[in-house]
Amino acid sequence: MDEATRQKLVNKLVRRLEGLSGLHDRDVIDLTLLGRQLFQLVCTQEAWSLACSLTDEEREARRLLIRLHDPDRWRKDSAESEEKRRNLLEERLVEAFLGEGVSSPRLLDSLIDVACLPHFIGFVRDRAGFKDARPSGGRVKVLD
């Protein structure tokens, strides 16, 4: 993906994040609805294109940094049932959204990184239209 296309996609998604932030700041949407909306955002074609534009090495490095940041959470999240992991994905997206503060490309990267973790990516990839997409290579291994 060329840089101009990437920047257009980032700008479009950041504007959506700003809209969600405004709605949340005015208490129009609660945390549950915010989580659902963030999940919808990371499941868009634009977000998926940004995620797929990363090299395998960069994706693996980001995954390892997240895992090293909180290994206990990683183990707990990856050991949960599918239904609980789906709910956890929304919770983790809300945490990333509230933790960054300002809607920015950095926040967008954080949200996409969370959605692309091996124990969450299936929920994003299995959304309508992404079934034929290239798999990320992320798998939960026995040692995880």
C-alpha 135/C-alpha 52 separation (Å) is 9
Strand spans (E) along 56-114: none
pLDDT of residue 37: 94
**128 has pLDDT over 50:** no
pLDDT of residue 133: 46
Mean confidence (pLDDT) of the chain: 85
Phi and psi at 54, nearest 5°, equal: -75, 145
C-alpha 142/C-alpha 144 separation (Å) is 5
